[in-house]
Structure 1
Amino acid sequence: MSTTVIRLEIDGREPKIEELYHPILVNYGHFTAMQVRGGRVQGLALHLDRLVAATRELFAAELDPALVRDHLRHALRDVPDAAVRINVYRPGDLMVLVAVRPPTDPAPGPVSLRSVPYQRPAAHLKHLGSFGQLYHGHAAERDGFDDALLTGPGGEIAESAVHNIAFFDGTGVTWPSAPHLPGIMMQLLRPRLAEAGLPDRSASVRLADLAGYRAAFVTNSIGIVPVDRVDDVHLPLDPAFMARVEAAAAAIPWDDI
Structure 2
Amino acid sequence: MTITPVHIEIDGLPVPDPALTASLMSGYGHFTALQVREGRVRGLALHLARLDGAHRELFGAGLEAGRLRSLMGRALHGAGRADASLRVYGFEDAVVVTVAEPYAFDGSPQLLMSVPYVRPAAHLKHLGGFGQAYHRKAAERAGFDEALLTGPDGAVAEGAITNVAFWDGEQLVWPSAPHLTGITMALLTRRLPCALRPVTLADLPDFRACLVTNSRGIAPVSRIDRVAYPVDEELLSRVRGAYEQVPWDRIG
Q: Which amino acid aligns with 2:124?
A: L
Q: Which amino acid aligns with 2:128?
A: G
* Helix, strand or coil at the partner of 1:248: helix
Asked whether 1:147 is paired with 2:146, we answer: yes
Q: For residues 172 and 163 of structure 2, what CA distance do their matches in structure 1 show?
A: 13
Q: For residues 46 and 187 of structure 2, what CA distance do their matches in structure 1 show?
A: 9
Of the three residues 203, 218, 221, the one matched with 1:224 is 218
Q: Extract structure 1 runs of 4+ deviating beyond 6 A.
A: none
Give the Å deviation of 1:238: 0.8
Q: For residues 211 and 200 of structure 1, what CA distance do their matches in structure 2 show?
A: 19
- In structure 2, runs of 5+ residues without a counterpart are 1-14
Larger CA Rg, structure 1 vs 2: 2
Structure 1 residues 76 and 206, CA, compared in 2 at 3 Å: closer, same or farther? same
Moved more, 41-50 or 22-31: 22-31
Asked whether 1:207 is paired with 2:201, we answer: yes
Instruction: Report the number of matched residues.
Output: 235
1:17-66 CA-to-partner distances (Å, cap 9, x unmatched) read 64762255201000000000010000111100001000100011122121
Give the Å deviation of 1:237: 1.4
Matched-pair identity in %: 52
* TM-score scaled by length of structure 2: 0.90
Q: For residues 250 and 16 of structure 2, what CA distance do their matches in structure 1 show?
A: 30
Asked whether 1:79 is paired with 2:78, we answer: no
1:132 matched residue in structure 2: 131
Give the Å deviation of 1:181: 0.2
* TM-score scaled by length of structure 1: 0.88
Q: Which amino acid aligns with 1:222?
A: R
Q: For residues 142 and 17 of structure 1, what CA distance do their matches in structure 2 show?
A: 39
Q: For residues 86 and 253 of structure 1, what CA distance do their matches in structure 2 show?
A: 21
Structure 1 residues 36 and 16, CA, compared in 2 at 3 Å: closer, same or farther? farther
- Taking only aligned residues, the RMSD between alpha carbons, in angstroms, comes to 1.4
Q: For residues 227 and 212 of structure 1, what CA distance do their matches in structure 2 show?
A: 15
Q: Which amino acid aligns with 1:84?
A: L
Q: For residues 107 and 240 of structure 1, what CA distance do their matches in structure 2 show?
A: 18
1:55-80 CA-to-partner distances (Å, cap 9, x unmatched) read 10001112212111110010111310
Asked whether 1:184 is paired with 2:173, we answer: no
Q: For residues 72 and 22 of structure 1, what CA distance do their matches in structure 2 show?
A: 23
1:5 matched residue in structure 2: none
Q: For residues 158 and 110 of structure 1, what CA distance do their matches in structure 2 show?
A: 20
